[in-house]
Structure formats: C-alpha cells, structure tokens
C-alpha cells in the first residue's frame, strides 16, 4: 500500500483530527490532546509540531496564512 507503518498512519489520523478541532476553535488544547488519544499534552505538542511544523498553539495562524496559497 504505502511506505508508512500502521502506528504512523494512526498517529497521522489522530493529529489530522486534532488539527480539525483546533481550526474549529471551540476546544482547549489539553481537551483536544485527550480527545484524540494523547495522555500527555507535552507529547501531543511534540507530535503535532513534528507532523505540521508548528505547535498546536500556533496552528490557527499557520493554517489561516496558507489558505490562499
């Protein structure tokens, strides 16, 4: 199928869902981390930044700036 491990595929899906929650702007980051299955907000932030290149706290500004491009 693809050159991605099942763990990474699941992690990517969790982080993509988290990004959608962040974009909605209705939830706190700690609640989002827990909702997508992270036990530690610090680990969530680290994984999110690795996936998207920005921390969760800066994602709205990042995604807003990239809509036009």
Query: Using one digit for the tens of pLDDT, what is the confidence trace for 10-60?
Result: 999 999 999 999 999 999 999 999 999 999 999 999 999 999 999 999 998
CA atoms 53, 12, 45, 60: torsion sign: positive
For residues 16 and 37, give the distance between their C-alpha atoms in angstroms, rounded to a whole number. Answer: 12
Task: Determine the straight-line distance between the first and last CA of the chain, rounded to whole angstroms.
Answer: 30
For residues 23 and 63, give the distance between their C-alpha atoms in angstroms, rounded to a whole number. Answer: 8
Query: Using one digit for the tens of pLDDT, what is the confidence trace for 51-61?
Result: 999 999 999 87
Model-level pTM?
0.83
Where in 1-69 does DSSP place strands (E)? Answer: none
């Amino acid at each position: 199928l693809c050159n991605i491990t099942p763990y990474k595929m699941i992690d990517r899906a969790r982080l993509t869902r988290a990004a959608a929650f962040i974009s909605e702007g209705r939830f706190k980051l700690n609640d989002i981390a827990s909702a997508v299955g992270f036990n530690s907000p610090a680990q969530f932030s680290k994984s999110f930044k690795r996936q998207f290149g920005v921390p969760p706290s800066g994602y709205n500004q990042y995604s807003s700036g990239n809509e036009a491009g």
